[in-house]
Structure formats: structure tokens, C-alpha cells
């Protein structure tokens, strides 16, 4: 299931909550048709006098209950695990126009990854671009905790840490991609 992050943020009433996450989770087909069929088959043995519609409604209730508990646990685990990130490295990939000095770019954006494998650039337009990877240090007081937790529940492969917009981040260096990769030290504060 794919839920675009921007859709969640635009439709959330204020600060993102677990209830916002659950609402968007249900809008898709979160468990697919086969688990629903399996649950209905199991229930039909116990609900012999029920209509197909009643069995399906009960099956959806059961699946919703199971998935909501599991999703809430992942959300809570993500929230509680953020303190372990204090002082750890984080990474941000950006696509810059040729000729832009990557050591001068500021702000750097709010979406970073706490593992290098999770960093990526998603909305590149092609053309003559240079890929750069910034390496910074996580300060947990600058993390948007609800957004980080929600993104790690929905997209665990991204290892995301979302910073509060405009918050400071210490940047160690920037690696510039291409035929030959090289790293330039920055060792300075930038903004997210």
C-alpha cells in the first residue's frame, strides 16, 4: 500500500496523530482481498445463520482490530526509540543544479534518514544535475516526533528522521556524486 506523505499532512487537522495515520491507512486496501476472504471463511463456520454481508462486516471488524493494534504498537515503538538517535549521523540526498556550491546551500530541508541506505532524492527533474549527500548530526530536541514516528510506520525502509522546519543541524560534510565521488568538509550549522 502506498500513501503519499503530503496527503497525510494536508489532511491532518493539526499536529499529526495516530488517529490521522489510522484514517489514511483505512482509505487504502490495507489488508487486501485474500486476508479478508480467509477471515470470512473462518467466521462462516461459527456464523452459520448469518448473511454474507454480516460475515464480511464481522471479518472487516476483526481485521481492523488486529491491524490497528499492530500499527499502534509500531507507532509507539517508533516514538519511544527516538532518544537512541541523539548524536547519531543522519543523511540527506539532494539534486542540485550544476554550478551550485553544495557547501553554501541553506536550508537543507526537513526530511533526513538515520541510515545512509534510507536517504534518497525522489522528485528529480533530470537534466544536468549533481547529486550530493549531506551528513549531519541528530539533535533529538529538533525532531518532529509525530511525523518521524508516522513516516517510520508507513515507510520503514526510509529510516526517516523529520526535523522541525528552520531548526539548526550540524553538518559534518557533503559528498558529491558523479564519476568520481569526493567529500568536502563543512563542519558548520545549517538549517532544516
Cα dihedral sign, 59-23-113-88:
negative
Note whether 172 and 91 are same-domain residues: yes
The answer to whether position 8 is within a domain reads: no
Q: Can you give the pLDDT at residue 4?
A: 47
Q: Can you give the pLDDT at residue 29?
A: 63
Q: Can you give the pLDDT at residue 66?
A: 86
Residues of the chain whose pLDDT is less than 50?
1-4, 7, 10-11, 13
**69-106 per-residue burial string, b: 16 or more CB within 10 A, e: under 16:** eebeeebeebbeebeebeeeebbbbbbbeeeeebbebe
Q: Can you give the pLDDT at residue 1?
A: 37
The answer to whether position 56 is within a domain reads: yes
Q: Can you give the pLDDT at residue 178?
A: 66
Q: Can you give the pLDDT at residue 84?
A: 92
Domain ends where: 80, 113, 128? 80
Q: What φ, ψ does residue 90 adopt, rounded to 5°? A: -140, 160
Q: Can you give the pLDDT at residue 63?
A: 87
Domain ends where: 80, 102, 118? 80
The answer to whether position 7 is within a domain reads: no
Q: Can you give the pLDDT at residue 3?
A: 45
The answer to whether position 5 is within a domain reads: no
Q: Can you give the pLDDT at residue 10?
A: 46
Q: Can you give the pLDDT at residue 146?
A: 83
Tell me the sheet residues that pair with 90: 136
Q: Can you give the pLDDT at residue 167?
A: 96
Note whether 98 and 182 are same-domain residues: yes
The domain total for the chain is 2
Q: Residue 170: give the domain boundaries.
A: 86-191
Amino acid at each position: 500500500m502506498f500513501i503519499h506523505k503530503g496527503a497525510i499532512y494536508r489532511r491532518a487537522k493539526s499536529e499529526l496523530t495516530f488517529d490521522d495515520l489510522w484514517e489514511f491507512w483505512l482509505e487504502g486496501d490495507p489488508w487486501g482481498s485474500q486476508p479478508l476472504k480467509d477471515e470470512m471463511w473462518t467466521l462462516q463456520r461459527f456464523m452459520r445463520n448469518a448473511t454474507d454481508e454480516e460475515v464480511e462486516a464481522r471479518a472487516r471488524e476483526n481485521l481492523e482490530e488486529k491491524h490497528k493494534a499492530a500499527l499502534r504498537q509500531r507507532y509507539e515503538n517508533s516514538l519511544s526509540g527516538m532518544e537512541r538517535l541523539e548524536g547519531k549521523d543522519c543523511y540527506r540526498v539532494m539534486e542540485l543544479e550544476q554550478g551550485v556550491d553544495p557547501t553554501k546551500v541553506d536550508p537543507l530541508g526537513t526530511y533526513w534518514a538515520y541510515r545512509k541506505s534510507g536517504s534518497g532524492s525522489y522528485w528529480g527533474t533530470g537534466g544536468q544535475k549533481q547529486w550530493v549527500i549531506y551528513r549531519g548530526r541528530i539533535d533529538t530536541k529538533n525532531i518532529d516526533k509525530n511525523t518521524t514516528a508516522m513516516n517510520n510506520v508507513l515507510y520503514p525502509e526510509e529510516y526517516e528522521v523529520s526535523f522541525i522546519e528552520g531548526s539548526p543541524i550540524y553538518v559534518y560534510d557533503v559528498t558529491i556524486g558523479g564519476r568520481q565521488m569526493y567529500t568536502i568538509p563543512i563542519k558548520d550549522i545549517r538549517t532544516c
